[in-house]
């Protein structure tokens, strides 16, 4: 009975394989750029296994869109190769847009580190591909955990599934629309990053103004040796007090962006 079953499904294996390849091309390319999934700290084999598993799990949800397009190129190798390349580019573009959105928390962390006075305390950041201030790294990791805890990564995957309606299989997305989407994501990330760090920016202005006045009123005091530790202490205290609200607001904003991305 098992051999007979294999004989029955054998004619459909090439189509199923090509169908899975198309789904994996878009989903795997997007997952390779999503925050958390794309970090160098995650082993490459593990990322590949996650992409394969997600593509297999979501294939049933997007099979209708992919199957209809695949039927038109079943006997055309060049057409299938072109469709596979288009799916790869679409996944990379979608993942890149989400990555740009997530840069808001990195911008906020860098601004906070600058105002607190911890820019010289650097640590390696696999997601940034270099060194970043340790406070910025802590904030970005905390933001990722909050997003995962609030289920924002589910909205990212939902946007990927809905992208098959917005961007049909085998059709190159309009370059002008994607350029505008990337521009909006970049400007939105910069605005959100500045707004998240706004309390610390205001604190930095007030503190440095007061420090300058103290230096003018009492020039004999070593203001730097007094002000730097005090700046770090007050800055970390204020950051701790505002961090929960900032991370929750960031996760909520990421959820809104993900829903808008899905159309």
Q: Where are the beta strands (DSSP E) in the chain?
A: 122-125, 130-133
Q: Residue 36: its pLDDT value, please?
A: 78
119 pLDDT exceeds 70? yes
Res 1: pLDDT: 47
CB atoms within 10 A of CB 124: 12
Other CB atoms within 10 A of residue 158 CB: 17
Residues 6+ apart with CB under 8 A from 185: 97, 100, 101, 257
Structure-token pair, residue 150: 């609030």
The predicted model scores a pTM of: 0.80
Give the residue from 141, 59, 104 showing the smallest Cα distance to 253: 104
Task: Choose between 8 and 130: higher pLDDT.
Answer: 130
Nearest residue to 254 (alpha-carbon basis) of 165, 167, 143, 180: 143
As a whole-number percent, the residues of the chain with pLDDT over 90 amount to 3
If you average pLDDT over residues 60-69, what whole number do you get? 70
- How long, in residues, is the chain? 263
Asked if residue 140 lies in contact with residue 127, where contact means CB atoms within 8 angstroms, the answer is: yes
Nearest-angstrom CA–CA distance, 170 and 92: 14
Mean pLDDT, to the nearest integer, of 26-51?
A: 81
Residues ≥6 apart with Cβ < 8 Å to 142 = 243, 247
Write out the residue range of the structural domain in which residue 177 sits. 2-261
Torsion angles phi and psi, residue 122, rounded to 5: -105, 150
Instruction: Single out the residue of 256, 53, 61 nearest to residue 155, CA to CA.
Output: 256
Look at the chain and report how many structural domains it folds into: 1
For the stretch 225-259, pLDDT in tens is 777 888 888 888 998 888 888 899 899 888 888 88
Q: Give the Cα separation of 82 and 70 in Å (integer).
A: 11
DSSP 73: S
162-210 pLDDT tens trace: 888 877 777 777 778 778 888 888 888 899 999 999 999 998 899 888 8
The DSSP line for 6-49 is HHHHGGGHHHHHHHHHHHHHHHHHHHTTSTTTS-TTS-HHHHHH
């Amino acid at each position: 009975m098992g051999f007979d079953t294999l004989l029955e499904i054998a004619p459909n294996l090439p189509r199923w394989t090509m169908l899975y390849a198309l789904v994996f091309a878009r989903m795997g390319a997007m997952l390779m750029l999503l925050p958390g999934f794309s970090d160098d700290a995650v082993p490459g084999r593990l990322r590949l296994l996650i992409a394969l598993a997600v593509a297999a799990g979501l294939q049933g949800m997007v099979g209708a869109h992919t199957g209809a397009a695949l039927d038109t190129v079943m006997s055309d190798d060049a057409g299938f190769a072109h469709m596979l390349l288009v799916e790869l580019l679409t996944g990379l573009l979608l993942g890149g847009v989400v990555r740009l959105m997530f840069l808001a928390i990195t911008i906020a962390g860098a601004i906070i580190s600058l105002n607190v006075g911890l820019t010289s305390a650097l640590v390696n950041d696999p997601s940034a591909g270099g060194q970043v201030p340790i406070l910025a790294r802590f904030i970005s990791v905390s933001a990722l955990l909050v997003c995962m805890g609030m289920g924002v990564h589910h909205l990212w995957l939902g946007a990927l599934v809905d992208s098959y309606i917005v961007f049909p299989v085998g059709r190159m997305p309009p370059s002008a629309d994607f350029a505008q989407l990337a521009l909006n994501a970049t400007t939105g990330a910069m605005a959100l990053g500045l707004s998240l760090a706004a309390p610390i920016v205001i604190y930095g202005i007030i503190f440095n103004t007061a420090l300058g006045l103290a230096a003018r009123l009492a020039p004999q005091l070593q203001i730097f040796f007094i002000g730097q530790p005090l700046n770090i202490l007050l800055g970390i205290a204020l950051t701790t007090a505002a961090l929960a609200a900032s991370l929750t607001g960031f996760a909520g904003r990421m959820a809104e962006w993900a829903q808008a991305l899905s159309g």
